[in-house]
Structure 1
Amino acid sequence: MGSASNFHSNKEFENIIGEKLEDRQLRENLKSAMDTLKGNRKKLIATRYLDWEGLREEARKLKLKALTHLDVLLERFEKNATKNGMKIHWAGSAQEANEIILNLIKENNITSVLKGKSMASEEIHLNSFLKQKGIKAVETDLGELIIQLIDETPVHIVVPAVHKNRYEIGKIFEEKLQAPLEDDPQKLNAIARKHLRKEFESFKMGLTGVNFAIADEGAIWLVENEGNGRMTSTACDIHVAICGIEKVVESFEDASILGTLLVPSATGAQITCYNNIITSPRKEGEKDGPKEVHIILLDNHRSNMLNDKNFFKALSCIRCGTCLNHCPVYDKIGGHAYLSTYPGPIGEVISPQLFGLQNCGYMVNLCSLCGRCSEVCPVKIPLADLIRDLRSEKVGQGNGKVLGYKNENPNKIEQILMNMFSWIATSGFKWRMLLWKVRIFGGLGKILHRYIPILNRWTRYREFPKIDANLHSKVKNMKGVIYE
């Protein structure tokens, strides 16, 4: 699951969506977790921030400014980071990034790599690449460790194992780590800590992602809650950080504004337990820190997005995951149903552009266009609008510049139905007549819906809508409201 490098048919999407909708435990776990994250965020914003909306607007402007001058900032970052003693590598593709990491591993005779949480490493499918080369990649983030033990991909970009409750995690640890069966969170953490401690004792290379790269200072900033990120980046001889080129901002002040928005949006906390700001390798006289720091600046089709005057806005994303937390579709099916590294609303926007519209085009169907994602995005990415625009691209009505676009013949039945809907919905008289017929014949639909094409797919996982008994009289009163 999660590999968008391979083509996924509509049937594959429909099968896994059906599977997830039937998984009641998954839906209970997701609903509980999403409700908690949303509630924590709402309470924190209401009680601790005087001008949350003003902060969002400031963040929107600074990210768009950084993206507009990204070429300059990237060069400045490379210059200052190199001056600080860090080594910069440029990777145009996932394959190039993987090869850079593999070469560093071979040069230093390394057999295992310890990883902090990194969605960029998931994007390039680093773990499976290293496994094929005989290299062991060990996840040290608790959520990532859980899903690695059961050979799954992250279900969420911030909380990768949010679809598993403590009882399920206890069983995983019992089976995979031969630990005693537990369901207490503290005891589960202790089991994971004991398992990972021996890995930290002798590792040579640590790998992390990057939350913010600061051009003026040539520094990288990592945020995390468990301490594993700090261990992974400081207790090793070689630290490798994978950084999407869009993570570069101008100054520490800019990064601080984004960080102030990131954590409340992600988990509903005011600040993370660990903020790791790395400015150089270990200097003479220092007792910890890596001897070498390598930063891989990853493009992987981001420059294509940057060249689009509309879709480039999605590169403002700070990977907080709040759009997933508030999405009424995501909390029913979970991240695996998107068949891509990046699920949820932000995934629907960036996945087709990173991995190809021909691979991920189906994802844009997984949206109700309710607009919640746009309302809560801390950097004000117009996600709902961009999803709608990608739907236009998918059916050949856009500019045709999205990666993987193919000018294929549209679905003629769908086109006929949408033209028919447009013909009815743009006429007051026809629309009122349709509502009147719904009032008369709606009762039959409730009885026969499972035998009616299209309607039976809709009601498979939804209750048949209630028809207002007074609809007829309301329709007659609409005559003066809806123009002819």
Structure 2
Amino acid sequence: MSDNSLFHSNEQYEDTITKKLSDTQLRKNLKSVMSTLKTNRKNLIKARYTDWEGLRELGKAVKIKALSHLDEFLERFEANALKNGFHIHWANNAQEANEIIYNLAIQKQVSKILKGKSMASEEIHLNKYLKEKGILATETDLGELIIQLIDEPPVHIVAPAIHKNRYQIGEIFADKLGSKLESEPEKLNAIARKHLREEFKDFKMGLSGVNFAIANEGAIWLVENEGNGRMSTTACDIHVAICGIEKVIESFEDASILDTLLVPSAVGASITCYNNIITGPRKEGELDGPKEVHIVMLDNNRSNILSDEHYYRSLSCIRCGTCLNHCPVYDKIGGHAYLSTYPGPIGEVISPQLFGLDNCGYMVNLCSLCGRCSEVCPVKIPLAELIRDIRSEKVKEGRGGVKGYANIHQNKAEKMAMQMFSSLATSGVKWRILLWSARAFSPLMKMTQHILPGLKNWTSCRTFPKINATLHHKIKHMKGVVYE
């Protein structure tokens, strides 16, 4: 029940990308939201933080420490969580995690689960699994609710419905919820609130993700802006939290550093509306809170990533989504074009490792190598470098440690073409002749661009370039001179 249960061919990726590029409304929606998020982040950091780069260094150090001692911190977290009254379950993969949650629902005679936002649940395709078993998992996050109504996956790891504008959302609510057609945000929120309050009246089991799991305290920390997460975790009898094992850190002090980095990076605000720190189930004498809290510790190939001395840094991700917000490719095609739970730059790094290079390898083509993602990552993951290295794995030129590497077949024609390009690009004489030739024959190529192999695909979504080149000083400078 994970992404690698369905192999995605290059043709599937290319067809999807072509459709997204031609969707003008999608591109308009993405541009509007991405511009707002980037501007809010930039203005907030400038106005409120005196040493943002120093804070990033602290965040990087927190995550590196946690990953370097993850075995120890996991054991400490489990021991302290058990003392606090939590039930801890260990899931090696998506199937085990889904079975644990399903069996809990059966034991507690639950047929409906209300969910706060959880990318880990998206990763294991929990909703689909439960639906096939006769249990309804209902999303309560506004963005997640919108896309669940139209049976779509999240388009973004923080804002799952940013590809829909308020008019489209109004049509979805009118069609799926039977509400009056509205387009004002306040009225749309009221429609969603009324619908969800009915759901919250009689539910027994709630589910959430985990932002930080605190080893020293055996507690979990969730951040949100809508209040639905607090309802999903406190108004039920049984709370189930899905926690990727990389979310465990040592202390509340460490969590505070990461939270201070997470929120500005994600939404351009200094704090979220709700910080939910859960230290156990309802205790004797308390009037609210769940009677039981179960935490599912999810591995799903994370241990293998951790064991790689180079790619383990990708587990530092705190799921802020700022790399997506700044990516010049993501904002043209949206998250669905990546055909994976995790899109954008961070998706290009972790998806091949989680779900297989043979399944998700095409994703690394969706990168311009501009380096913006590395520049803005709050915990300084070298995303651009890692994407470039996974590209080398995809063409069988890497170290061979990424999942699915053995199933990749080297494209000999591609390798030959890149060797030829390398020969031309590293010789001043050859490169100058190539450009001059391209200029000389460009009128003919422009006339035949729609039928020439290779060029036909390239110009299908690009304007034919104007080429300016001369044989600089001609023959006397063609002795390996570096041209200015």
* TM-score, scaled relative to structure 1: 0.97
13-22 or 1-10, which moves further after superposition?
1-10
- The CA deviation string for residues 422-481 of structure 1, in whole angstroms up to 9 with x for no partner, is 11111111111112223322333333322222122122112222334xx32768699797
| 1:117-196 pair list within 5 angstroms | 117-196=117-196
Contact map agreement 1:213 1:248 (CA 8 A) in 2: yes
- What residue number does 1:215 align with? 215
> Which range is displaced more, 426-435 or 184-193?
426-435
1:33-112 maps to which residues of 2 (within 5 A)? 33-112=33-112
Matched, 1:8 2:8: yes
Structure 1 residues 119 and 478, CA gap change in structure 2 (3 angstroms): farther
| Deviation at residue 415 of structure 1 after TM alignment | 1.2
Identify the residue that residue 113 of structure 2 maps to in structure 1. Answer: 113
- Aligned residue runs from structure 1 range 322-361, under 5 A: 322-361=322-361
Please say if residues 436 and 475 of structure 1, whose CA atoms lie closer than 8 Å, have aligned partners that are also in contact.
no
Superposed, which structure 2 residues align to 1:235-250 within 5 Å?
235-250=235-250
Structure 2 letter corresponding to 1:155? V
Name the structure 2 match of 1:252. Answer: 252
DSSP 3-state at the match of 1:419: helix
Contact map agreement 1:281 1:289 (CA 8 A) in 2: yes
Between the aligned partners of 2:227 and 2:79, the Cα distance in structure 1 is 29
Residue 280 of structure 1: SS of its match in structure 2? coil
Question: Residue 145 of structure 1 aligns to a residue in which SS?
Answer: helix
- Determine if contact 2:215/2:250 at 8 Å carries over to the other structure: yes
Give distance in 2, aligned partners of 1:407 and 1:150.
35
Per-residue CA distance 1:353-412 (angstroms, 9 max, x = gap):
111111111111111111111111111111111111111111211121211112654212
Q: Which stretch has the larger CA shift, 37-46 or 431-440? A: 431-440
Matches within 5 A, 1:305-454: 305-406=305-406, 408-454=408-454
Which of 445-454 and 179-188 deviates more? 445-454
Deviations along 1:105-157, one digit per CA (max 9) or x if unpaired, are 01110110000000000000000000000001000000000000000000000
* Corresponding residue for residue 288 of structure 1: 288
- SS of 2:147's partner is helix
Unaligned runs of 5+ in 1: none
Contact 2:353 2:403 in 1 (8 A): yes
Where 1:138 maps in the other structure, the secondary structure is strand
CA distance, structure 1, for counterparts of residue 17 and residue 55 of structure 2: 37
| Distance in 2 separating the partners of 1:188 and 1:444 | 55
Contact 2:91 2:300 in 1 (8 A): yes
Q: 1:300 to 1:187 in 2, by over 3 A?
A: same
Matched with 1:199 is 199
The answer to whether the Cα contact below 8 Å between 1:396 and 1:407 also exists between their aligned partners in 2 is no
Q: Which region of structure 1 is more displaced relative to structure 2, 396-405 or 438-447?
A: 438-447
* Counterpart Cα distance in 1 of 2:24 and 2:175: 23
CA distance in 2, matches of 1:135, 1:335: 28
TM-aligned CA distance change 1:473 to 1:429, over 3 Å? closer
- Indicate the larger mover: 203-212 or 453-462: 453-462
Give 1:411's aligned amino acid.
N
SS of the counterpart of 1:472? coil
Return the offset for 1:4.
Answer: 4.0
Per-residue CA deviation, residues 288-347 of structure 1 (Å, 9 max, x unaligned), is 111111111100000000000011000000000011111111111111111111111111
TM-score if structure 2 supplies the norm length? 0.97
Q: 1:432 to 1:88 in 2, by over 3 A?
A: same
2:465 counterpart residue number: 465
Q: Is 2:251 the counterpart of 1:263? A: no
In structure 2, the CA distance between the partners of 1:245 and 1:472, relative to structure 1 (3 Å rule), is same
Structure 2's unaligned 5+ residue stretches are: none
Q: Which moved more, 1:16-25 or 1:472-481?
A: 472-481
State, as a whole percentage, how many aligned pairs show the same letter. Answer: 72
The one-letter code of the counterpart of 2:195 is H
Amino acid aligned to 1:25: Q
- Is the 8 Å Cα contact of residues 239 and 293 (structure 2) preserved in structure 1? yes
The alpha-carbon deviation at position 349 of structure 1 amounts to: 0.7
Task: Answer whether contact 2:323 2:344 (CA < 8 A) is retained.
Answer: yes
Counterpart residue type for residue 12 of structure 2 = E
Looking at structure 2, the residues matched to 302 and 246 of structure 1 have their Cα atoms a distance apart, in angstroms, of 8
Task: Give the 5 Å matches for 1:269-284.
Answer: 269-284=269-284
Assess, with a 3 A threshold, how the Cα gap between structure 1 residues 99 and 83 changes in structure 2: closer, same or farther.
same
Contact residue 358 and residue 408 of structure 2 kept, 8 A: no
Q: Distance in 2 between matches of 1:246 and 1:478?
A: 57
Cα distance change, pair 133–28 in 1 and its aligned pair in 2 (3 A): same
Q: Is the 8 A contact 1:432 1:475 kept in 2?
A: no
After TM superposition, the structure 1 stretch with the greater mean CA deviation from structure 2, 432-441 or 89-98, is: 432-441
Please state how far the C-alpha of 1:47 moved relative to its aligned partner: 1.1
Which whole-Å CA distance do the structure 2 matches of 1:336 and 1:137 have between them? 22
**C-alpha distance after superposition, 1:159-198 (max 9, x if no partner):** 0000000000000000000000000000000000000101
Q: How many residues align?
A: 482
Cα root mean square deviation, aligned:
1.8
| Whole-angstrom distance in 2 between the partners of 1:190 and 1:475 | 72
Aligned partner letter, 1:42: K
Partner of 1:230: 230
- Secondary structure in 1 aligned to 2:193? helix
